[in-house]
């Protein structure tokens, strides 16, 4: 097993166990999840797409991979965004499961907001890489 793959799994497991701390209950209005999803997805897509369009900024970026170092912020920021997306999704899923397990689930979308934010990050990242990443360059996952 690759070292970075194992480290990512441990970080995501820790995020899933740290539930309920990042998003406070927001009432019973589930539309909040859709708003967070849309804002995060559009913002992340525009940010990554803009960086790809700026000459010299995205040179050498690899496609997100579970097998690369996610802490190379300056040289490989997509790896970190990929890790953050999965951590936020795991935190939300852990919060939903905890609420169901303890019986304290009252229909509040708090953990659902975390899932919406994480999915917004992940979908925007996938779309930006599919649209803007140079087709001729090989990523590290293809060279394994």
Q: Is the pLDDT of residue 144 over 70?
A: no
The C-alpha atoms of residue 70 and residue 73 are separated, in whole angstroms, by 7
* d(C-alpha 111, C-alpha 90), whole Å: 10
Could you tell me if 61 and 94 are in contact, meaning their C-beta atoms sit under 8 angstroms apart? no
pTM of the model: 0.81
**pLDDT of residue 70 exceeding 80:** yes
From the CB of residue 127, how many other CB atoms can be counted at a distance below 10 Å? 15
């Amino acid at each position: 097993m690759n070292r970075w793959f194992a480290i990512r799994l441990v970080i995501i497991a820790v995020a899933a166990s740290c539930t309920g701390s990042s998003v406070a209950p927001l009432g019973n209005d589930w539309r909040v999840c859709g708003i967070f999803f849309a804002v995060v997805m559009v913002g992340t897509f525009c940010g990554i797409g803009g960086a790809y369009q700026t000459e010299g900024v995205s040179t050498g970026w690899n496609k997100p991979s579970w097998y690369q170092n996610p802490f190379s912020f300056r040289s490989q920021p997509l790896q970190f965004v990929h890790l953050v997306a999965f951590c936020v999704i795991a935190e939300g899923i852990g919060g939903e499961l905890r609420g169901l397990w303890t019986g304290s689930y009252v229909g509040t979308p708090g953990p659902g907001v975390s899932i919406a934010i994480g999915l917004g990050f992940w979908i925007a990242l996938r779309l930006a890489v599919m649209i803007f990443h140079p087709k001729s360059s090989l990523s590290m996952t293809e060279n394994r």
